[in-house]
Amino acid sequence: MDELSLKPLPPNDVVDSCVVVLGRFQPLHLGHTSLIKAAEEWRLKNSADSQLVLCIGSSNKPESMTNPWNYNEREEMIRSWLKNEQGFDNVKIVSIPDIDNPPMWVSHAEKYHGKNGSFFTSDSFSAELYSKAGWNVVKFPLEKRDQYEGWRVRATALMLSTINDDEAIRTVLSLSLPESTIDYLIKIDGFRRLAFLVEGGEPVG
């Protein structure tokens, strides 16, 4: 396997104190937005001087059905959603490339999101990694977790990828995606590309 490129490179400056939320956001769905809202509420009550840092993982993975949207597109999904939300005044978004080395993940990610703070998550594996690295970990029990699993959302979007009816797409995907994400992906033709990412590269019928 070829070594993964570090794209993007770590920023020149990182925050001194942060509340970190990590996800792949493929795409940004209602489970993610619930987690982000809960993290911001927790930050305001428990660590108001910290900055909320939203971390986009797998920024260096090649385009596939697992990773159909690049990190710039995923950042725009998040920014589009934040524009319609109240109270998010201290948010930073960073993209973190994978290194396929879980024991080294946290020290790698700290170069992007900072070293001091709390890790807010609903994922047990990530929670264990950050806890072992000495971070304060806050677990959030995500409701409707099965409905909001990324692969389920992408599978539903794939079934709609050859439909030329934006309203039908909105009706079906509004159960799992925020309106802003649907609008953005329609605008960039981001659903249609899924039809060409299935094995064999042939559009779905």
CATH 3.40.50.620 in the chain: give the residue spans: 18-139
pLDDT number for residue 199: 59
Assess whether pLDDT exceeds 80 at residue 25.
Answer: yes
**202 — pLDDT class (breaks 50, 70, 90):** very low
Q: Say which CATH architecture domain 18-139 belongs to.
A: 3-Layer(aba) Sandwich (3.40)
pTM given for the model: 0.92
pLDDT number for residue 145: 67
Secondary structure string (H, E, C) spanning the chain: CCCCCCCCCCCCCCCCCEEEEEECCCCCCHHHHHHHHHHHHHHHHHCCCCEEEEEECCCCCCCCCCCCCCHHHHHHHHHHHHHCCCCCCCEEEEECCCCCCHHHHHHHHHHHHCCCEEEEECCHHHHHHHHHCCCEEEECCCCCCCCCCHHHHHHHHHHCCCCCCHHHHHHHHCCCCCHHHHHHHHHCCCCHHHHHCCCCCCCCC
pLDDT in tens, 87-139: 888 899 999 999 999 999 999 999 999 999 999 999 999 999 999 999 999 99
